[in-house]
Structure 1
Amino acid sequence: MTAQDLHDGWTLRATAGPVPAELAGREVAAEVPGTVHTDLLAAGLIPDPYLDENETALAWLHRAGWRYTRPLTLAPADDDERVDLVFEGLDTVADVRLDDRLVGSTANQHRSYRFDVRDAADGTPRTLVVDLASALQHAEALEARLGARPAAYSHPFNMVRKMACSFGWDWGPDLQTAGIWKPVRVERWRTARLAEVRPLVTVDAEGFGRVAAHVRVERSGLGGSADTTLVVRAHVADVEAQAVLALGEDTAVVHLAVPHAPLWWPVGHGAQPLLDLDVVLEAVGADQDAAPIALDAWRRRIGFRTVELDTHPDEFGSSFTLRVNGRSIFVKGANWIPDDHLLTRVTRAQVARRVDQAVGANLNLLRVWGGGVYESEDFYDVCDERGVLVWQDFLLACAAYPEEDPLWDELEAEARENVARLTPHPSLVLWNGGNENLWGFEDWGWKDRLNGATWGRRYATELFPAVVAELDPTRPYMDGSPYSPAAAPEGTHPNDPDHGTHHEWEVWNRVDYTAYRDAAPRFCSEFGFQGPPTWATLQRAVRNPDGSPLAKTDPVFLLHQKADDGNGKLDRGLAPHLGVPEDFADWHWATQLNQARAVRHAIDHYRSWWPRTTGAIVWQLNDCWPVTSWAAVDSDERRKPLWHALRHAFADRVLSVHERDGRRVLAVVNDSPELWRGVVALRRELFDGTPLAAASQPVSVGARSVALIPLPEEVATPGEPRREVLVAELDDVRAVHLWAEDLDLDLDPSPVEAVATPADGGYRVDVTARSLARDVTLLVDRLDPDAVVDDALVTLPAGARATFWVRTSARLDEDALVAAPVLRTANDLRAVGLVGDAPLVGTPAD
C-alpha cells in the first residue's frame, strides 16, 4: 500500500449564508487539517473568537457554507489497483466532488470516510472539492422532519453527529466550526488491505498475556484478488503467530500467548510497560515456493492488564468498583473536555502537558465526556504512557436523541469505528453510554414533551452494549452517567447515590457546598464548583472596549461566564463562608479560593467513605477557551488554586476531620502501597498558638485503606469556637479543623511574615505564620504570566513555616512577591469591603 497525503494546496471561500461583504467571493489559503475559523483567523479576516466580545460578532458563521478546493491529478491505476480517497474526519455536513462528479456525502464528525476513486485515476488534472453546509441548518431540517427533542440548550445539537459543545455549553463558546479537521489522503493498494485490527488483550490466571488480534480485511475485487490466499502474521515481544484467510474469507483471529507478561498498572499502583504489536497482511501465490507478498502493515503499543467493574448489591445498595489486575482502585479523576474548542490546534505536546498536570494533581483517571469528541491517538497514547485510566463516553450528552435513521445508522457506524480503533489502549478501562440522558428523561420534564417519541434509551441499553460486547468484550460497559446498575431494585432512579454512579449538582445550583457531606454516594462521577480563570488569562483575553478595569458585571466578563446565573451562584456560594468582596481583585481571589475549598470538602468526604465510596471524578480538569468555569487548569494552561486543592485532596496520604455517628473523627486515608503506622499528634490551640489541650493516638492503617479515629473530647470540643483551631499531624501530613466559617472567626487579617530570595530558576519564598494563616497562596502570574509556583492553599498554624518555589525566567520585584495582591491568604479577606450587610472588617472581630 502507498499513501499520498493531501494536506497542501487547499483554498477556501464562502458559498452561502450571511457572509460579510468583505469576505464574499474572497478565496484564502486553507490549512488541512484545519477549520474555517482557523483559516480566516490566519488570514486576518476575523478577530480571535476567544477574545473580548468577538464570539458574538462571529455568530454569522453558524449559517455559512464553505468550499475547500485543491488540484488533484491521479496517476493511471493498474488493472489490479484500487485507489481510495480517505478522509479521517470531516466537520461535518459535506459533499465531496472531483470536478462536478459527486464522490460521496457525509454528516458525521465522529467517523472516517473512504471513497473509491479508481475511475478518476487516469492522469487527468482535476479539482477536489469539499462543500460544507451549515451543520445548524442541517440539524434544524432533521428536527423539522423527525420532530423536536428536548436538549439542554437552544440549538438542536442532538440532530446532527457533531461535537455537541460546538454549539455552546455552560463553559464553552458557540462557534459551530466547519472544516477538514483530520488528515486526508489517497491510498493505492492491491489485492487486499487491513480494514480493521482489534487486539483484545487480557492476562490469564497463569500470568500469560493473551492477545486475540481480530483482523478484518477488504479485498480489492480486482485482478483475481478473490482467489488469493491471505496470511495475517502478528508479533509481540518474542511471540509470533499467524492465521490464514481461505478464499472468500475476510476475517481472522491471530492468538498470541506471552509468558510472564509484564503488567500495566494505573499510576500510583505500578509501572506502565508497553509493547509493540505488529500485524502484517501477506498474499500467498499458487507457487508455494515463492515468497509471500506484503500487502499492508499495522503497529500499535499494547499493555497487559485486566479490568472489571463490580456492581454487585450489598448492604448499602449497588456497588461501583473498578478493578485493574484484580485490585480495587479508588478513582481519583477529572472530567475531560476538548482542550481547545478549535480542535485542530491541539498538539501532542499540549495533550502531554495537560495529562502531566492531571498526574501532578494526583489524578489517576480522566473521563472523556460525551459532549466532546473521541479523542486523538495522541491523547490515549499519552494516557497509556502515564498510567492514567480513561473512562470513555459514547458521544451523547444532556439531550434526547432520536432513534430513527439517519441518526441510528450514523451512531452505529461511529460506535463501531471508535470502539475498534481504541481497543489497543490499556488506559481505556470503561465504556459509558452517554452523559445525563437517562437522568434527563426522568427529571428534566422530557416525558411530556416527548409524548412517546424516541429519545435514545435504545442507544444506551441496546446498540452500545451490543457493539461493545461484539467488538471489545474485555472492557465493561455502563448504560450512562449517572446510572443505577441492573443489580439495583427495579425503578431505582438513575441518579440514586446508593446505586452505581451519581452526579452531585444540587451543590453549585441550589445548596451550599457543606451539603456534599449529606450523602455517601457509591461513586460520584460529576461534582464541582466554579471559579474564574487566573488573573493573567483574564488580563490577556477579557478586556473592556474602553480599556477600563474589569468588573464582574461588565458585559465582556459575562460573555465569558456561560453558566445560568453563574455570578449569582458564585456570590451565594461565597456569602456564608468568606463574604462577597466588593473589589474585583478581592472577589477574584475569593471565588477561586471558594471553588478550591468546595471541591476539597467533597473529596475529603468521599475518600473517608472508602470502600463504600469508590471514586470521585471532579468536573472538570481543563478549559477550551478563557472562561469562568469549573476547571482546575484554565485555557492558557495556568493552574488555578483548585489544581492545588486536587493535589492535596488526592494525595496518597491524607488526614481530615468529619462528623460520624454523632461525634468527630479523624479520617486517616492511606492510598499508598505501604502500611502507614505512627502516632497522630492532636492539639487544640488559640489562633496565636497558645496551647489549650493535647492528645496523641497511635494508628496503623493498611495499604489502600482508611481508618476512622475517634477524637478525644478535650481536643474535639472548643471552648471559644471563634478563636480556636484543632491541628492533627502524622509524619509530614497535617489537617487543620475549625468550628466556624471564616466570617465568624477572629482571624488575624495579616498573619504571616514572608521573605523572597533569588534561587536557581526563580525565587524561594519563606513564609512564617505569626497566627493561624489559612490557605497561603502566591498568585505569581500577577507578576509574570509565565511564572509557576510549586504549592498553594497551605494552611499554617501559628509558628509553622512553609517554603514556596517560584519558577520564572523574569526578574521579579521581591517585595511585590510577598505582598498583596500576589501573596494572599483567606485571612486577608477579613480586611476588605464586603457586599451587603457584612461589615467592613479592619481588625479581628470581638
Structure 2
Amino acid sequence: MRIDLKTNWELTGSYPGFWEFGRSMEVNVELKGIVPWIPAEVPGSVHWDLHRADYLPDPYFGANAPSCEWVNERDWLYRTTFAADASWSGKRIRLIVEGVDYSAKVLLNGLTIGSHTGMFTPGVFDLSGTLLIGEQNTLVIALERSPEGVAQLGYTNRVDHLKSRFGYKWDFCPRLVHIGLWKKVSLQVAEWCVFDHVGIETHQADHGSGLLLVNAVVESERAGKIRLTANVTDPDGLNAGSECFEGEVVPGLQKIRLRIPVKDVRLWWPNGYGEQPLYRIALQLETVEPAGDFVLSDTYGVRTGFRTLSFHANPGAHPDALAYTVAVNGEHLYVKGWNWVPVDQLYGRNREESLKHLIALAKRANVNMLRVWGGGLIEQQLFYELCDEAGILVWQEMMQSSSGFNNEPSISPAFLHNLTQTMLNVIREKRHHPSLAIWCGGNELTEGGHLDGRMLPLTDRQPNLRLLRDLVSDLDDTRLFLPTSPSGPTFFLDGKDAGKGILYDVHGPWKYAGVTEHYRLYNSSDALLHSEYGGDGFASPESLSRFLPPERLKLEQSGSIDWLLHGYEYWNMDDQLRSLFGDSFDTLERMAEAAQWLQAEGIRYAVEANRRRAPHCSGSLLWQFNEPYPNVSCTSAVDYYGDPKLAYSWVAKANRNLHASLQYEGISYLLGEYFRASAYLTRDSVKVDSVLLEWKARNATGDQIGEGSFVLKEVRVPTILAGEIEFAVPAGGDAFFVMLKVVDPTTRQALADNEYAFAVRRDDVRPPLQSFLLIPQTALDWNLEEVGGGTRINVTNTGKTTALWVRVRAVELDARLGPPPNRPLEDGFLVFPSETVSRHIEGVLPQERSWLVTALNS
C-alpha cells in the first residue's frame, strides 16, 4: 500500500547548518530561521512557496529574477505530520522521497533516520524502528543548499553532480536554481517482501500474436512463500492474458520471470504512421503468512505497447557513420520533431496542464520525436506517458551538457559511481515506454570547447560515455545508444563542409543566415541527421504583456535589464531586424510580428530542405519546442505561456505526411531578375498514385503573374522533383507570392497546399526585406460560425493589397491573466484582395472568447 503525503506541509528556511545547531550559543534562545513556518506544496518549489507567502517577488516578472537568486543558497526544512494506523504494527514501513533536489537529511520525530543526495534517484528510508504506531508522527526533510553549479559557459569537466544544469543560467533563462521536493513523498506499508524493480518486455510473434515478458526482482526480509500474479489488459479494457508464480523466496534479491502470451496484438505506431494502442500490466505480490493466508504486500502497474524498433544506415553513407534511420515495426520513418527543455524553470511546480497542452501541440504539429536535452531533466513520468499516448518517440539524454570552455564530462571515480547509480535507476524506470527510442550520453560533448578551432564530438571510447553505453547494452539493448549529440565527426552545419560527405549528425545554425546565405546553406547540406538547429523569434504581444512592466513594452526598451533577463542578452534581434527591414517599425507589436515571421520563414525552409533529402537525411530536430521561462525573444516555437509562435504553424505544415515545397536561392529580388525554383513533393506513410502539383504566382495586388502544373504518377519514393518554375520578377509592387497545391486528378480534391512570399526591391540600397513593410495597408473583415464544438472563422480581405501573414487568435478579455490564445493550426496565411480564407479553431465557441484578426499590413 502506498500513501502519498500531499497535505499539511510547512516550510521554513535556515542559513546553512544553523537548523542543526538549534539554539544560539550566545543567549541560548531557539533559532527561528529566516522565515516563519509557511504553507508549502509537495511536490513543489521553495521559490514558489515563498512567492505565495509574499516573501519573494514573482521570479518571472520584469527584473525580479536577480532578487530571487539567494533562495538556493539556504537550507530549507519541509515539515508534515501523519498518523500511523494501529494496523501497521508488524508491517514493513518505508518512506520514499522520489525527488530530493538536491541533498537532504530526513528526521522522524526528532531523530535523524538518514540522508539522500540526487534528484533522479529516490531516497528510501526504513521507518520500522522509529515510527510511533497509533500516534501522530512528525516528518522533517531538511534540504541542504544547492551544490555549486556550472552555467552554460564554464567547464563541463568540473561538474561533479547530476543536478539539472540549465537553472544555473542558460541562453533561454536567467540564473534561478531550483530547490525543493520536486516529486512525490509517500509511505509504503507492506509485508516482508516487496518489489525492488520490474522489467517489462514485449515481443511480436507469428500470426499476429505477441509475448509479454515480466522480469520482477523482489526484495525479501526473510525466507518464505509468495505469490506473484500478472494480469494484462488490452486497450479496450479487456483481459488479454495472465500468469501466476507461487514459490519460495530467500532473504535478499530474487528474480521471477513470467511469460504471458497475448493473442491478436495491436501494434503501437509513431504519430502519423498508425494508432498507439497501450496494454496495461498489473502485478500483485502476496506473501503467505503462518496461518496460510495470502496477504497483499506490494503492487506494480504500467502501460506499454507492442512494437519493434531497429536502426539502419543511410543509403550511401560512409561505413563509419552511425545508424541514424529509425524503423518501427519494420517501417523506416523520417524523424520530424523538436528538442525539448523543461516546462518550467521552477520544475517542482504543478505544471501538469501545461505539459498536456504542449504534448498535444506537438502531436498536432506532426511531431514523431522529441529530443530531451541533456541540460534539463529526466522528465516526470507523465511526460513519457503522454508521449506513449501521442505516438511521439523520445530521444533521452543522460543529463550531461557542454559548457563552452570545456565540453568533456568528468571521469573521476566518484562522479562515475554517481552516474552509474543514477542512470541504473533511470533506465529501469523508463524502459517499458514504447515511445522511448534513443539513449544519448549528453548534449554537445566534445574534445575541448567552443573556443577551440576544431570541435570533435566524443565517441563511446571516452570512459564516461563508454560506461553509459555498457549500461544501456546491459539493461535496454533494443534502444540505440548515441554517445553525444551531435555525434559528428563534424560538429556544425557549415557551408564550407557541405557536400564533402563529412556531415553525419550535426548541430546549428540557430539564426536566420540571410536572404541568400540561408537558402544556399540548407540547399547544399548533405547531413545524415540534423539533431539541433533553429532560429529566434519574439513572443506574442499578449505574452509580452504578462511578464514585462507596461513601461518596458516599447521599442526603445530592448537594452533594459527586463529585456536582457528575458532572453535578449543572447537572442537580441535588433541589428538583424534593422539590417533586413530597416528602421521601419513604429510599434513593438509590428516588430514582434516581423520577428515571428523571420523565425517561421527560416526554420520552415530548413525543415523542408532537410526533408527533401530523405532517405539520405534521416530527419531533423529543431531547437527548441518550448521554453521554461518567459522570454522576449527565444528559439522556442511555443512560448512559456503555451502560445504557439508563427514558426509552430509553418513547421507543422512542413511536417505533414504529404507536402509540397519549393527550393529556391533567395527571398529578395531586384526588378528585372528572374525567379527560379524547383517544386518537390514529399510523403511519409501515405500511398500516392497520381497527383497534380499546381502552382500560381501573384503580385502584391493579387494579380496573377504565372501558373503551371506537373503530373506525378506512381509516387513511391519519399521525395520527388516535380518540375521547375521560372518567371520574370514583376515590375510594380513590393512583393510576389507563389502558391502550391497538390490535387487528386480524378476528384479535384486538394490534398496539400503551401505558399511563399518574396520581397521585391528597386535597388541594392534598400534593406532586402523592407518591401514587405512598404506594402500598402489593407482591411480585413471576418465572421464566426460554430462548427462541431469549435469555431470556423472566415477572413475576407476587403482592401486592395494582399494581407500578409494573417494571424487569428481567440483570447480572454484580459490576456495577461487567462490561458494562452486559441489559434488555428494553419496560422499566418495570405489573403488576396476580395478573397475569403477559412480557418477552424477547436475547443472554443464563438461567444466564449474575444477574437483578434491581424496581418502585418492591416
TM over 0.5: yes
CA distance in 2, matches of 1:812, 1:218: 56
| Match 1:430 to one of 438, 446, 464 | 438
Residue 806 of structure 2 corresponds to 776
Residue 527 of structure 1 corresponds to 533
Question: In the TM superposition, what are the counterparts of 1:272-351 in structure 2 within 5 Å?
Answer: 272-284=276-288, 290=292, 292-311=294-313, 314-315=316-317, 318=321, 320-351=324-355
CA distance in 1, matches of 2:453, 2:132: 55
Residues 1:239 and 2:241 aligned together? yes
Partner SS state of residue 314, structure 1:
coil
Q: 1:285 to 1:102 in 2, by over 3 A?
A: closer
Q: Is the 8 A contact 2:657 2:686 kept in 1?
A: no
Residue 108 of structure 1 corresponds to 118
Deviation of 1:159 after TM superposition, in Å, equals 2.8
| Match 2:397 to one of 393, 396, 410 | 393
Q: 1:366 to 1:724 in 2, by over 3 A?
A: closer
CA distance in 2, matches of 1:111, 1:445: 36
Deviation of 1:603 after TM superposition, in Å, equals 0.8
Residue 563 of structure 2 corresponds to 558
Q: Is the 8 A contact 1:771 1:799 kept in 2?
A: no
CA distance in 1, matches of 2:75, 2:68: 14
CA deviations 1:572-602 (Å, max 9, x no partner) are: 2662367763542221111111111111111
Residues 1:634 and 2:639 aligned together? yes
Deviation of 1:675 after TM superposition, in Å, equals 0.9
Residues 1:789 and 2:815 aligned together? no
Residue 6 of structure 1 corresponds to 5
2:144 partner letter: A
Q: 1:485 to 1:206 in 2, by over 3 A?
A: farther
2:855 partner letter: R
Residue 404 of structure 1 corresponds to 412
Partner SS state of residue 419, structure 1:
helix
Partner SS state of residue 118, structure 1:
coil
Residues 1:803 and 2:838 aligned together? yes
CA distance in 2, matches of 1:606, 1:762: 35
CA distance in 2, matches of 1:429, 1:166: 27
CA distance in 1, matches of 2:318, 2:728: 31
Question: In the TM superposition, what are the counterparts of 1:32-111 in structure 2 within 5 Å?
Answer: 32-71=42-81, 74=84, 81-111=91-121
CA distance in 1, matches of 2:590, 2:699: 27
Residue 734 of structure 1 corresponds to 753
CA deviations 1:464-521 (Å, max 9, x no partner) are: 22222222222222111110489xxxxxx99998554221126459996433333132
Q: Is the 8 A contact 2:802 2:830 kept in 1?
A: yes
Q: Is the 8 A contact 2:224 2:288 kept in 1?
A: no
Residue 601 of structure 1 corresponds to 605
Deviation of 1:692 after TM superposition, in Å, equals 4.5
Deviation of 1:216 after TM superposition, in Å, equals 0.9
Q: 1:551 to 1:539 in 2, by over 3 A?
A: farther
| Aligned residues with identical type, % of pairs | 22
Q: Is the 8 A contact 1:332 1:650 kept in 2?
A: yes
CA distance in 2, matches of 1:509, 1:59: 36
1:364 partner letter: N
Partner SS state of residue 48, structure 2:
helix
1:63 partner letter: E
CA distance in 1, matches of 2:263, 2:498: 43
| Match 1:466 to one of 464, 467, 470 | 470
Deviation of 1:539 after TM superposition, in Å, equals 0.8
Deviation of 1:723 after TM superposition, in Å, equals 6.0
Listed as ranges, the gaps of 5+ residues in structure 1 are 141-148, 449-453, 487-492, 829-846
1:409 partner letter: H
CA deviations 1:505-550 (Å, max 9, x no partner) are: 2645999643333313211111111112111111121115x67746
CA distance in 1, matches of 2:461, 2:15: 37
Residue 795 of structure 2 corresponds to 766
2:629 partner letter: W
* TM-score using structure 1 length: 0.84
CA distance in 1, matches of 2:553, 2:230: 68
Q: Is the 8 A contact 1:403 1:455 kept in 2?
A: no
Residue 131 of structure 1 corresponds to 142
Residue 368 of structure 2 corresponds to 364
Residue 648 of structure 1 corresponds to 653
Q: Is the 8 A contact 2:792 2:838 kept in 1?
A: no
Q: Is the 8 A contact 2:699 2:730 kept in 1?
A: no
CA deviations 1:121-149 (Å, max 9, x no partner) are: 344765422222221xx337xxxxxxxx8
Residue 180 of structure 1 corresponds to 181
2:630 partner letter: P
Deviation of 1:256 after TM superposition, in Å, equals 2.0
- Greater CA deviation, 345-354 or 298-307? 345-354
CA distance in 1, matches of 2:360, 2:441: 27
- Greater CA deviation, 590-599 or 349-358? 349-358
Residues 1:668 and 2:681 aligned together? yes
* TM-score using structure 2 length: 0.83
Deviation of 1:435 after TM superposition, in Å, equals 0.9
Q: Is the 8 A contact 1:484 1:500 kept in 2?
A: yes
Listed as ranges, the gaps of 5+ residues in structure 2 are 19-30, 234-238, 491-496, 666-674, 744-749, 762-766
CA deviations 1:605-641 (Å, max 9, x no partner) are: 1111111112121111112221121112111121221
CA distance in 1, matches of 2:38, 2:328: 51
Residue 223 of structure 2 corresponds to 226
2:795 partner letter: D
Q: Is the 8 A contact 2:79 2:139 kept in 1?
A: yes
CA distance in 1, matches of 2:324, 2:132: 59
Q: Is the 8 A contact 2:698 2:736 kept in 1?
A: yes
Partner SS state of residue 642, structure 1:
helix
Q: Is the 8 A contact 2:459 2:487 kept in 1?
A: no
